[in-house]
């Protein structure tokens, strides 16, 4: 009995490893698919699993049956609950709409978007709003962004309502086909559920502690992977059932004219009209600013006049101070000049007297010499 249990456990683990390898090999980016391709894919996996069982002589009849059951027990990838799919081809499509719109009343458009989302059974995933509260101050006012989740079956109804309430400047659609990923994940889940049941039965029949530990470890791994797959499937179901709508809203006074082609005359005319409108708004806003800010303008004007007068007074005082100092310096210079002149005259007189004395001495000496002779 113990040998039979170990053999069966080995078969379960081998089937789990093979299933994981097949799942990893088939996980790829979304692309076009169909139910026929999915059925062929599942059948090929089942044949491969059976072949691997027959090639391994260590597997008993029970383990081979288990491996075949794991491969053949895969379904078409549909889970419980209402999931939006392309009924014609059975595809799982994740649809994302991207809108850039303009509105003259952001508050009214926001209320309309929220009411329409709630009415259709959707919800707001994220939103933001920013910009000037008074759109009269500039050509463009506030702006906002919304990320909405709308039931896929009612996406067209929401798009029609949005386009009727705003001016659409750009629109794009992104469709991702996750059919293969969904089928592969659901198939792996079904196989793991089968393995879980087999392991639970083996756990009841285990006769030794070693067998019990090995089976419990294998069962823990299977349950963990099964939980991850269930989470992934729920995420896929949500992505398929609820389409994502990204909306970027700009509040403006005049809607942007979106045309495919315009002549040069039309472009000149529209550009001139736009310039005139902007100039008119600029003049109006300037007049409003001047009148509304008149008290502050008068205050700053009076303050500027006072500052100018104070500066002029300070300059006059400085000029007067420097002028008085210069006059005093001139007077002192004149006094010094007169004093120097007087001293020079005295020196000149003293030199003249000295010269006269020397001449008199010379004359006396000459008279003495003549008398002695």
In a domain, residue 207? The reply is yes
**Segment holding 71, helix H or strand E:** helix 61-72
**For position 305, what pLDDT does the model report?**
95
Tell me if 95 sits within 8 A of 238, measured CB to CB.
Answer: no
Residues 137 and 204 both lie in one domain: no
Residue 52 makes CB contacts below 8 A (sequence gap 6+) with 14, 18, 67
In this structure, the answer to whether residues 71 and 118 fall within a common structural domain is no
Q: How many CA atoms lie within 13 Å of 74's alpha carbon, on the beta-carbon side?
A: 28
Contact 228, 80 (CB under 8 A): no
What does the pLDDT read at residue 253?
80
Same domain assignment for residues 200 and 74? yes
> Is residue 262 in a domain?
no
Separation CA 185–CA 218 (nearest Å): 20
DSSP-assigned letters across all residues of 148-174: EEEEGGGHHHHHHHHHHHSEEEEEEEE
Closest CA to 74 of 218, 234, 192, 199: 192
Q: How far is CA 133 from CA 90, 102, 110, 146, in A?
A: 48, 16, 15, 18
Q: Is 144 left (phi over 0), alpha (psi -120 to 50) or beta?
A: beta
Residue 71 has a pLDDT of 35
Residue in the block written with tokens 């999915």: 38
Starting at the earlier edge strand, list the strands of the sheet with 167-177. Answer: 123-130, 140-151, 242-252, 93-103, 167-177
Same domain, residue pair 73 and 139: no
Inter-residue contact 277 to 285 (CB < 8 Å): no
pLDDT score at 229? 94
**Does some domain include residue 265?**
no
Q: Given this model, what pLDDT does residue 15 score?
A: 53
Regarding whether 333 and 310 lie in a shared domain, the answer is yes
Q: Tell whether 35 is covered by a domain.
A: yes
164 and 152, same structural domain? yes
Are 112 and 68 part of one and the same domain?
A: no
281 located within any domain: no
Domain CATH code at residue 147: 3.30.70
State which residues form the domain around 189. 2-81+183-237
Q: Which pLDDT score, from 0 to 100, does residue 230 have? A: 94
CA atoms of 186 and 232, how far apart (whole Å): 9
Is residue 258 assigned to a domain?
no
CA atoms within 13 A of residue 333's CA, in its CB half-sphere: 6
How many separate domains does the chain show? 3
Whether 77 and 208 share a structural domain: yes
The pTM of the full predicted model, rounded to 2 decimals, is 0.50
Count of C-beta atoms within a 10 Å radius of residue 182? 27
Instruction: Give the CB-side neighbour count of residue 97, counting CA atoms within 13 A.
Output: 24
The reply to whether 74 and 198 lie within a common domain is yes
- Please check whether residue 16 lies inside any domain of the structure: yes
The verdict on residue 347 lying in a domain is yes
> What is residue 41's predicted lDDT score, i.e. its pLDDT?
35
Tokens 């010094």 found at: 336
Task: Tell me which residues of the chain have a pLDDT lower than 50.
Answer: 1-6, 8, 12, 17-84, 87, 135-137
Q: Which of 193, 214, 237 finishes a domain?
A: 237
- The predicted structure's pLDDT at residue 336: 86
pLDDT of residue 74: 35
Q: What is the DSSP annotation of 338-363?
A: HHHHHHHHHHHHHHHHHHHHHHHHHH
Q: Which two tokens stand for residue 184?
A: 């592969």
Q: Are residues 341 and 216 in the same domain?
A: no
């Amino acid at each position: 009995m113990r040998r039979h249990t170990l053999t069966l456990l080995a078969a379960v683990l081998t089937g789990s490893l093979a299933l994981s390898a097949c799942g990893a090999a088939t996980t790829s980016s979304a692309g076009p698919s169909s139910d026929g391709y999915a059925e062929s894919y599942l059948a090929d996996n089942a044949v491969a699993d059976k072949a691997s069982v027959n090639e391994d002589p260590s597997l008993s009849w029970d383990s081979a049956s288990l491996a075949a059951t794991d491969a053949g027990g895969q379904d078409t990838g549909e889970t419980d609950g209402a999931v939006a799919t392309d009924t014609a081809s059975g595809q799982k499509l994740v649809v994302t709409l991207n809108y850039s719109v303009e509105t003259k009343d952001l508050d009214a458009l926001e209320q309309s978007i929220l009411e329409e989302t709630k009415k259709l059974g959707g919800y707001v995933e994220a939103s933001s709003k920013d910009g000037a509260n008074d759109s009269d101050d500039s050509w463009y006012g506030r702006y906002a962004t919304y990320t909405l989740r709308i039931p896929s079956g009612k996406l067209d109804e929401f798009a029609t309502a949005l386009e009727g309430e705003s001016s659409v400047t750009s629109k794009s659609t992104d469709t991702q086909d996750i059919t293969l990923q969904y089928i592969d994940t659901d198939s792996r889940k079904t196989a793991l559920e089968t393995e879980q049941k087999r392991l639970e039965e083996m756990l009841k029949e285990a006769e030794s502690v070693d067998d019990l530990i090995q089976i419990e470890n294998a069962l823990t791994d299977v349950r963990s992977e099964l939980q991850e797959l269930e989470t992934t499937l729920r995420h896929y179901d949500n992505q398929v059932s609820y389409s994502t709508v990204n909306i970027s809203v700009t509040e403006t006074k005049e809607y942007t004219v979106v045309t495919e082609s315009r002549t040069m005359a039309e472009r000149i005319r529209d550009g001139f009209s736009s310039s005139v409108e902007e100039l008119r708004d600029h003049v109006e806003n300037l007049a409003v600013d001047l009148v509304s800010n008149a008290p502050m303008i008068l205050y700053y004007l009076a303050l500027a006049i006072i500052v100018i007068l104070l500066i002029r007074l300070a300059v006059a005082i400085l000029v007067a101070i420097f002028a008085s100092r210069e006059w005093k310096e001139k007077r002192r210079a004149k006094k010094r000049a007169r004093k120097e002149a007087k001293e020079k005259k005295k020196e000149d007189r003293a030199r003249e007297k000295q010269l006269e004395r020397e001449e008199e001495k010379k004359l006396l000496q000459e008279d003495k010499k003549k008398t002695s002779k």
